[in-house]
Amino acid sequence: MAVALQAPTRLPPVPGIRLSTCAAGIRYRGRDDLLLIDAGQDAAIAALFTTNAFCAAPVQVAREHLAAGAPRWLLINAGNANAGTGPAGVAAARATCAAAGRVCDADPHAVLPFSTGVIGEPLPVSLVEDALPCLYAGLRDDAWLAAGRAIMTTDTVLKGATRTVRLAAGTITLTGIAKGSGMIHPDMATMLAFIGTDARIDSALLRELLLDAVDRSFNAVTVDGDTSTNDALVCMASGASGVDLAAPADRERFLVALDSLCLELAEAIVRDGEGATKFVRVIVRGGRDRSEARRVAETVALSPLVKTALFASDPNWGRILAAVGRAGIETFLIERVRVTVNGVEIVSAGGRAPDYTEAAGQRAFAAAELDIVIDLARGDAEYTKYTCDFSYDYVRINADYRS
């Protein structure tokens, strides 16, 4: 059950970028599970990957291919993560890139592979190879919605967003899709996301802008504290518009749009967290520095006791205080801490606020969307973490995932 999240009904094309999906039967039946993206002949591509040491075979191969030259093609499958598969998994990822290269008349290094799904299962390379001719023949620029559906696993809602930006030399488009519902935590947040733009940007600048945007979005979300083996974020700039970011003001406008789009996609992942019934912003203010504020926000957002209290709409604010207290802040003065939930002051001077009532707390915690604001009164730094509650369905979904 997604929290106040609806699938987009339209995702506009990005000039210069084409997509195609098909049902390869990798794990699912009766739905598309394979996606091919053509970023364009002159595309610049920037990508960020999971920091999990057991990174999946496609992550290893995609990193190699990205470093080797100028990739153009993206090949994504759902239902099989090709992770925990050892050298055979790497060989399988390379084999799919070689097969895509043959069909697309491209060097295998021009293909970046991505996988999502069950860990530890061999990737059925032959099914991918059989589907590639149909995929290539079906490439078109208006398939973003179909692409978003094809990469879903435990997602209940297709996730996509778009922005139009007017720059000095013309108008550009940004469109993106993402998948993710469980095993969500930085770095990256666990998911796959693909963003396209027709702006003309070199890959170094594109990576710089992407890193900036990700810090406030995909790396600021958590569902369950588990960082995946497969997560990746790719931004493609086809350059088809001919509009560049030479002017500093244009670069700033582009970054604002990219920030906004990334945050919308990242929030959508949390809103569709496995079994989620609440969408929660943990906003920490008054930190001595951003790192300190982030540490407190993450500790609260990751607390199973806080998350289960949120599911029960139980204003058990002592769990929030306990999480703040174990965040590892040096020279911490609890008498300065103030906590509000949806505008209701619950804690002041390190204890229950004088005017707080249980009824007011219950009304605040019963909301489907909550802002938990924690003021440390130690400085000016601030950080926001996006999370959700833990429900009975989270356990059921993950207990049944392989069945």
User: pLDDT band for position 273 (50/70/90)?
Assistant: confident
In this prediction, residue 139 carries a pLDDT of 98
* Predicted confidence band of residue 274 (pLDDT cuts 50, 70, 90): confident
Look at 105-119, 176-190, 265-279, 314-328 and tell me which has the smallest mean pLDDT: 176-190
User: How many percent of the chain have pLDDT more than 90?
Assistant: 83
Q: Which domain holds residue 75?
A: 18-271
Are 114 and 262 in the same domain?
yes
Specify whether 159 is located in the same domain as 229. Answer: yes
Instruction: Check pLDDT > 90 for residue 253.
Output: yes
How much is the pLDDT for 182?
Answer: 65
Mean pLDDT (whole number) for 387-403: 81
- The answer, yes or no, to whether residue 403 has pLDDT greater than 60, is no
CATH of the domain at 218: 3.60.70.12
Name which residue leads in pLDDT, 331 or 163: 163
pLDDT of residue 159: 97
- Residue 157 shares a structural domain with residue 257: yes
Q: Is residue 341 part of a domain?
A: yes
39 within some domain: yes
Instruction: Provide the pLDDT for residue 278.
Output: 97
By DSSP bridging, strand 232-237 and strand 369-375 are unpaired
292 and 310 belong to one structural domain = yes
Q: What is the pTM of this model?
A: 0.94
Q: Are strands 369-375 and 279-287 parallel, antiparallel or unpaired?
A: parallel
> In this model, does residue 239 exceed pLDDT 90?
yes
- For the chain, the domain total comes to 2
Average pLDDT, the chain: 93
Instruction: Check whether 366 has a pLDDT greater than 90.
Output: yes
Do 331 and 254 fall into the same domain? no
Active-site residue list: 190
Reported as a single tens digit per residue, the pLDDT across 140-188 is 999 999 999 999 998 999 999 999 999 999 999 999 999 987 666 666 5
Domain co-membership, 265 together with 283:
no
With cut-offs at 50, 70 and 90, classify the pLDDT of residue 227.
Answer: low
Does residue 6 belong to any structural domain of this protein? no
Same-domain pairing of 165 and 40: yes
Residue 330 predicted with pLDDT over 90: no
188 compared with 387, residue with greater pLDDT: 387
CATH of the domain at 295: 3.10.20.340
How does pLDDT run across 306-327, given as a tens digit for each residue? 999 999 999 999 999 999 999 9
Q: What average pLDDT does this structure show over 198-208?
A: 96
> How high is the pLDDT of residue 186?
61
**Which of residues 274 and 257 earns the better pLDDT score?**
257
Mean pLDDT (whole number) for 18-22: 98
| Confidence band, pLDDT 50/70/90 cuts, at residue 332 | confident
Domain co-membership, 252 together with 291:
no
Does the structure show a pLDDT above 60 at 302?
A: yes
pLDDT at 189 over 60: no
| Inside any domain, residue 7 | no
- 201 pLDDT above the threshold of 90: yes
CA–CA distances in Å: residue 286 to residues 207, 229, 296, 317, 334:
31, 34, 11, 19, 13
Instruction: Reply yes or no on whether the pLDDT at 94 is more than 80.
Output: yes
pLDDT digits (tens, 9 = 90+) for 42-51: 999 999 998 8
- Together in a domain, 260 and 283: no
pLDDT of residue 106: 97
